[in-house]
Amino acid sequence: MPLTDTQIKGLRPASSPVKRSDGGGLHLFVSPAGGKLWRLSYRYDGKQKTLALGAYPAVSLADARLKRADAKKLLESGIDPAQQAKVEKTNKLIASTNTFAAIADEFLAKTEREGKAAATLTKKRWLLGMAKAELGRRPISEINAAEILVPLRKVEAQGNYETARRLRAVIGQVFRYAIATARAENDPTFGLKGALTAPTVTHRAALTEKKAFGGLLRAIWGYEGKPETRAALQLMALLYPRPGELRQAEWNEFDLDGGVWTIPVTRTKMRREHRKPLPAPAVDILGDLHKLTGYGRLILPSIQSPLRPMSENTLNAALRRMGFTSAEATAHGFRATASTLLNESGKWLPDAIEAELAHVGADEVRRAYHRAAYWDERMKMAAWWADNIEAMRHPID
């Protein structure tokens, strides 16, 4: 006879275990200690087996019957319910350990092993810190797009649209790493591409007209502030590197006799070594600078500590003191100026200019070609650019 709740509640423990059947292999096992445990007896592959279904009253009579029905369906499909239960238990354990936070930390460790720049790692940690607040404890395989949208909307609500865009991108990187390591099946961030407010693109200020740029050059060469700052701005004009590449440059990167500056892979944006030809005026400026800072590792140390590089704010503040607003000139703007004027001259192959700017080419072959075949042209271009800077500083009316 099938069991009833009244019967189950009335069962009392005995000196030996008691079994009460509900039919279909389902029975309640009452231990001498008073525990009431659901069991399902069944045959699989010719063997008698037992499946634990939980304890009463946490698993009610109705729940136990549903579990019996589920087990019967598995048996009809040729699946052992006990083995299936083990698989589900293992999957839950894996899911509980493969949280978003755990996999994000693995991803960051991998990124660090790959030699990414410290600044890149710092940004990723900062962004993922915001994501962990909402998603950190969740199994990554269970996170959906709606959940990811929660931290993104919080960032957007503060008006930080570009940060929200970058946050979505780095969350997507974690998911793709999880997919590659067989702990997730899809990247929900793909479905959010159109959900975020697009940030307004603002280009870095740069003077791209010769007369205006000549005025900036005269101001730089006549700058009466710290000589290290003046030298830094002069080198930015002559060499137009990324500001961080120059500010963090070390003396061992420069071959002044050979006229070459080798920027190591750890500091270039494109994660590959970049060699720049040094025109004669740049070598002279570096020679004078060495008398001031050659005692240390950095060519442009901070005022606060010789172990820290000059900040980008130092260069931009100097430009402000010279009377140039942030809408007119920035440290990064020298790259746009050089690119514009070199291309407008018509004297140099666009690919040679791109190679000098350390931009990525169309493919790996093209990038290798940039570094090798265009070196002679880049040396000539560096000398020509230095001559033109001199001419723009001293225009002939």
Q: Tell me whether the CATH fold assigned to 5-92 matches the one assigned to 100-192.
A: no
Q: Is 242 a catalytic residue?
A: yes
Q: Tokens for 41, please give them.
A: 């007896």
- What is the residue extent of each domain of the chain? 5-92, 100-192, 210-393
Residue 89's pLDDT is what? 77
Q: Is 203 a catalytic residue?
A: no
Alpha-carbon dihedral sign for residues 210, 212, 217, 218 = positive
Could you tell me which residue, 162 or 1, shows the higher pLDDT? 162
Please tell me the class of the 100-192 domain. Answer: mainly alpha
Catalytic residue among 27, 65, 124, 242: 242
Task: Classify domain 5-92 at the CATH topology level.
Answer: Double Stranded RNA Binding Domain (3.30.160)
167 — pLDDT class (breaks 50, 70, 90): very high
Per-residue pLDDT tens over the stretch 237-262: 999 999 999 999 999 999 999 999 99
Catalytic residue among 138, 272, 275, 359: 359
Indicate if the pLDDT at residue 298 is higher than 80.
yes
Q: Where are the beta strands (DSSP E) in the chain?
A: 18-23, 26-30, 36-44, 47-55, 254-255, 260-263, 274-277
String of b and e for 232-245 (b: at least 16 CB within 10 Å)?
bbbbbbbbbbbbbb
Catalytic residue among 335, 370, 378, 393: 335
Element (H, E) at 71: helix 61-76
Q: Tokens for 312, please give them.
A: 């980008």
| Angle CA 86–87–89, to nearest 5 | 65
Which of 170-174, 282-286, 347-351 is predicted with the least confidence, judged by mean pLDDT? 347-351
397 — pLDDT class (breaks 50, 70, 90): low
Using left for φ > 0, alpha for ψ between -120 and 50, and beta otherwise, residue 357 falls in alpha
Tell me: domain 210-393, CATH 1.10.443.10, correct? yes
Per-residue pLDDT tens over the stretch 68-89: 999 999 988 889 988 888 888 7
Catalytic residue among 116, 369, 371, 380: 369
Q: Is 269 a catalytic residue?
A: yes
Query: For 163-172, what is the mean pLDDT?
Result: 91
Taking a C-beta distance cutoff of 8 angstroms, is the pair 252, 299 a contact? no
Residue 351's pLDDT is what? 82
Taking a C-beta distance cutoff of 8 angstroms, is the pair 26, 69 a contact? no
Catalytic residue among 67, 332, 367, 370: 332
Catalytic residue among 269, 272, 290, 380: 269
Mean pLDDT, the chain, whole residue set = 87
Q: Is 369 a catalytic residue?
A: yes
